[in-house]
Structure 1
Amino acid sequence: MSKIIAVSSKAIRGLTTPQLLKGGLYLTWATSVLLLIAIISGVQAQRQAIKTVGQDSTPSIVTAQRLKDGLAGMDANIANELLVPTGQNQEAVKGYEERYIRVTERLVAAAENITFGDKERKPIETMQLGLGNYIAKIQQARDSHARGDTNGMLAAYRASAEIMDKTLLPAADELDKVNLQALEDTYTEKQVATRKSLFSIFLIGMALIVVLIGLQLFLSQRMRRTFNPLLLVATAIAIAFLNYTAGALLAASQHLRVAKEDAFTSMHALRQARAIAYIANAVESRYLLDPAFATNHEQAFFKNVSTIAQLPTGQTFESVIEAYKSQGKKVDGFTGYLADELNNITFAGEKEATLANLSSLGTYVAIDKQIRQLEKSGKHQEAIALGIGNKPGQSDWAFEQFKTTNQKSFDINQAAFDKAIQQGFHDVDSFEMTTSIAVSAIALLTLFGLMPRIKEYSF
């Protein structure tokens, strides 16, 4: 190595001043081109990461979750409809039709936003085919119900419930999983790539600055000119633009982090809580509709509720809420999607909205307890009235309160997510043009700064 350095030093000393100046010029150009490539590559990678998180994966994940709660909502409404004589629960009929329309619209939206090939296409196709079979069974249940054929109605409804539980909801979960995994992989990969890009840009940028400063010092020592104004401007541009580029990429990376870790993580937890609440609402109605499997439906209800919010032993919804209000920190033993959200509070109003969501869940669960007490006491009709009632203090009213408070917290995070994604795009907007202009300016200023000195040796 020392011999190589010695030979290189000797070769450099053997070069004439014009040759050294031309070599410095060419080295500046080469380093500028490398810097141009490094910056554009880093910016495009960062922009692709923002696009994947903000425009590809996240909308598909939210669509999958909305499909899930739409499907479960159809099931809950049809169960409520079948709990009373035909035509006596028009709210349930309307709710079923509205959610059916939403499900079909979201299936179309999911199909139009396929980004990851068959991994997305297959669960969408499964839902499309399964939905037709489900609707056919529901119609059979309705027809049997209208005829007063309770056994036929239950047989058809059980068949529809099996399609819902074993085909439709798992397919919606799979669609969510595919896009969530893609988002996680892309986010991790691009964050690592951003750090590597910044390192490369820093090294190449510093090399360019060193070359420019070296040329300035060479001119000062060899030609006794203290300053070369154009080289000074080129150096200033290189330093300023390197700082600007690093700041822009770091800002874009930070905005991507806010969108993914702060906003989206909460959005996903809240949407999952909402979808599972729909499933719990459906099995609550199944509990009253199908007494033969009442125990199974009761267990399913509590399992779903615990997935949303599992309280620590000996605590109530009120005590957990008070702990978050007074202590403002994680409550040991409290788990579930709402716990995940409360442990990821970032934005103004988010904590209050999520605690209101938890409180409304507590109200809903308390009313469910009353329904089961009435049913076990032989007061079946009273239990049904409480279960499908929309007045304050009744089950469907409480469920609507849960949805409203859940949506408020979700909207806060959605707004923050959209803002962070927009800012991330803005951070790297038109960077290719800006970089090209800056690098070209450095190259031209170096050329015009050195050419007069090179020409001095032409005579």
Structure 2
Amino acid sequence: MSTDLTPPPGAPGAPRDPAVNGGGAVAADDRDSGLPAERGRAMRLLSRTLRPDSTPARVRAMTLAAITAIALLFATVAVIYTHARDGLQVIGHDAGPQVVATADLYFALSDMDAQVANVLLIGEESSLGLGRAESLDLYEQRRSEANNAMLQAAQLAGSDPTQQKTVQETLDGMGRYERLASEALQLSEQNDYRPGSPPAPVLKKYREATELMRLEVLPKAYNLTLDNASIVRTTYETERTWVLGGAAAIGLTGIIAVLLLTRLHVYLARAFRRRLNPAIAAAIVGTTLVTLGAAGVSYYEAQNMQRAKEEGFDSVLAVSRARAIGMGIHGDQSRFLLDPRRADTYQQVYLDSSQSILFVDVDNLNAYYSKVDKGIADYENGDIPPIGDENRMLGFLGEQERSGDIAGQPEALDDVMASYQTYQESDRKMRGLVSDGDRRDAIALRMGANDGEVRGEFDRYDKSLEELYTLHRGAFDSAIESGDRWITGWAVGIPVTAVIIAGLVLAGVRPRLAEYR
């Protein structure tokens, strides 16, 4: 007799029907039954993070938003300061000084040609002017300066094929000029002659040399300056725009960060019934100070860039150019006396170049003398005609009149204007002697270094330009040094301060979240 104790199907304790439960799948169902639960917990956690419905979740979300805003603030500061650093580097350390060096190239080349003309003019009379030996020493000095300036120009050209070509053409032109000038000087040494009466072969060779210098080498040297100055101008406009706009961007991101931190602080105070969270409060104060400081420094750096460019670089370049052209017109005076057949040409070149230095609206040299006298007298009396007036002085010195207001600049410019006027007066006397047929006295006046003599007045004028140059170069260096100093300090402080403020936020939030564990 069987004793089957198995309960009937459906009764309590009876085995399940395999057809209903899937037979052998029972064990697998037991293993997988935990996965949906885990997924559910993960989704609920994500939901609480994205759509806070509890105090800890809200605190986490607000903390994340605040730290993200802080990170955005410091990222903005870092980007803006990178642009400020790049602008100061190009203007103050790379392209800017190299552009000034290319302007010095024009000066050195002009003086090289002027010294050759002086040597050929004095002939056997070594007591005139600097004398043959000293003039040749100065020629060699200027040649060395020109070579150094060409090295700077080559570095600045980099891989730019157009600038590389201009540099190479200028170098080639310098080489050809030196060969022609050397031949003219050698012919001069082989032929003793009275001052102002060089033999035809000497004049012929020098004409070739000076035409090469004036028509090919000097224009190419000036093109180098213009091309390279465009690098500085473009960099300045781009980077300063970034830095000025950056001050506003820093202010905006800082306000957002402070508002989010304040919201977090208020929520913590209400939710946990504590009026003050010292760490969050410190983070708010720190973020506010960083925002104000960074925006202020950004604006200050934009001002430094403007000072370096407008009161420094632009004026340094203008004064360098005025000195170079001045050296050219000083050489034109020697060429005027050296080559009577081309005297009218050199006189016109002298007028055109003088107009570049200080422009007044005239069409002949005598009228230029008179109008310069009147213009400088008006300038000294403070009676400066408005822009567009035909009596307003322009040119490199005329522009200096309105170029800035740095300490000592008005007095230095007064000296430049006064010495330029007396220099032009000495030129008028020299040409008057030539018109009267007294060439020898004209040559002596040209080479003389005393008051009222041409070389003496030119030296005083050139020295006054050097002093003006030194003032503007000082303003340039000061602006760059100030900008570098602030950038260096903030470059170190930005990442450290960001970590400290983020740490304060976390330190303020963590104890409150711990209360819910």
Shared fold (TM-score, shorter chain, > 0.5): yes
Q: Which amino acid in structure 1 is aligned with residue 72 of structure 2? A: L
- Structure 2 match to 1:98: 141
CA drift of 1:185 comes to 1.0
CA drift of 1:166 comes to 2.1
| Closer/same/farther in 2, CA of residues 115 and 198 from structure 1, 3 Å limit | farther
Give the SS at the match of 2:456.
Answer: helix
- Structure 1 match to 2:45: none
Q: Deviations over 1:172-198 (max 9, x none)?
A: 111111121111111111121112322
CA drift of 1:131 comes to 1.2
Q: In structure 2, what is the Cα distance between the partners aligned to 1:115 and 1:361?
A: 38
Q: In structure 1, what is the Cα distance between the partners aligned to 2:119 and 2:407?
A: 40
- Structure 2 match to 1:222: 271
Aligned length in residues: 449
Q: In structure 2, what is the Cα distance between the partners aligned to 1:46 and 1:36?
A: 15
CA drift of 1:97 comes to 2.2
Q: Which amino acid in structure 1 is aligned with residue 410 of structure 2? A: K
CA drift of 1:238 comes to 0.3
Q: Which amino acid in structure 1 is aligned with residue 76 of structure 2? A: A
Q: Deviations over 1:51-95 (max 9, x none)?
A: 111112221221111110110101111111111225723243232
CA drift of 1:13 comes to 6.8
CA contact (8 A) 1:286 1:297 kept: yes
Give the SS at the match of 1:327.
Answer: coil
Q: Does 1:425 align with 2:468?
A: no
Q: Deviations over 1:125-173 (max 9, x none)?
A: 2222211110110122122223447221122111111220122111211
- Structure 1 match to 2:54: 16
- Structure 1 match to 2:208: 159
- Structure 1 match to 2:401: 342
- Stretches of structure 2 that go unaligned for 5 or more consecutive residues are 1-47, 192-197
Q: Does 1:399 align with 2:444?
A: no
| Closer/same/farther in 2, CA of residues 194 and 409 from structure 1, 3 Å limit | same
| Closer/same/farther in 2, CA of residues 328 and 118 from structure 1, 3 Å limit | farther
Q: Does 1:321 align with 2:376?
A: yes
The structure 2 residue matched to 1:123, chosen from 152, 161, 166, is 166
CA drift of 1:26 comes to 1.6
Q: Does 1:440 align with 2:499?
A: yes
- Stretches of structure 1 that go unaligned for 5 or more consecutive residues are 1-9
CA contact (8 A) 2:52 2:58 kept: no
Q: Deviations over 1:358-397 (max 9, x none)?
A: 2111112111122222222222222222122223322111
The structure 2 residue matched to 1:150, chosen from 199, 202, 214, is 199
CA contact (8 A) 1:387 1:396 kept: yes
CA drift of 1:38 comes to 1.1
TM-score, length basis structure 2: 0.82
Q: Which amino acid in structure 2 is aligned with residue 285 of structure 1? A: S
Q: Which amino acid in structure 2 is aligned with residue 396 of structure 1? A: R
Q: Does 1:273 align with 2:340?
A: no
Q: Which amino acid in structure 2 is aligned with residue 399 of structure 1? A: F
Q: In structure 1, what is the Cα distance between the partners aligned to 2:495 and 2:151?
A: 42
Give the SS at the match of 2:488.
Answer: coil
Q: In structure 2, what is the Cα distance between the partners aligned to 1:407 and 1:418?
A: 16
- Structure 1 match to 2:66: 28
Q: Using the TM superposition, name which of 203-212 and 228-237 deviates more.
A: 203-212
Q: In structure 2, what is the Cα distance between the partners aligned to 1:403 and 1:433?
A: 45
Q: Which amino acid in structure 1 is aligned with residue 376 of structure 2? A: I
- Structure 2 match to 1:452: 511
- Structure 1 match to 2:175: 132
CA contact (8 A) 2:49 2:58 kept: no
- Structure 1 match to 2:116: 78
- Structure 1 match to 2:218: 169
CA contact (8 A) 1:345 1:351 kept: no
Q: In structure 2, what is the Cα distance between the partners aligned to 1:175 and 1:362?
A: 31
The structure 2 residue matched to 1:65, chosen from 103, 111, 119, is 103
CA contact (8 A) 1:119 1:178 kept: no
CA contact (8 A) 2:244 2:302 kept: no
CA drift of 1:12 comes to 7.3
Q: In structure 2, what is the Cα distance between the partners aligned to 1:324 and 1:265?
A: 22
- Structure 2 match to 1:200: 249
- Structure 1 match to 2:90: 52
| Closer/same/farther in 2, CA of residues 17 and 51 from structure 1, 3 Å limit | same
Q: In structure 2, what is the Cα distance between the partners aligned to 1:299 and 1:99?
A: 26
The structure 1 residue matched to 2:75, chosen from 37, 43, 54, is 37
CA contact (8 A) 2:50 2:61 kept: no
The structure 1 residue matched to 2:293, chosen from 244, 247, 264, is 244
Give the SS at the match of 1:428.
Answer: helix
Q: In structure 1, what is the Cα distance between the partners aligned to 2:380 and 2:428?
A: 26
CA drift of 1:312 comes to 6.0
Q: Does 1:191 align with 2:240?
A: yes
TM-score, length basis structure 1: 0.92
The structure 2 residue matched to 1:108, chosen from 143, 151, 162, is 151
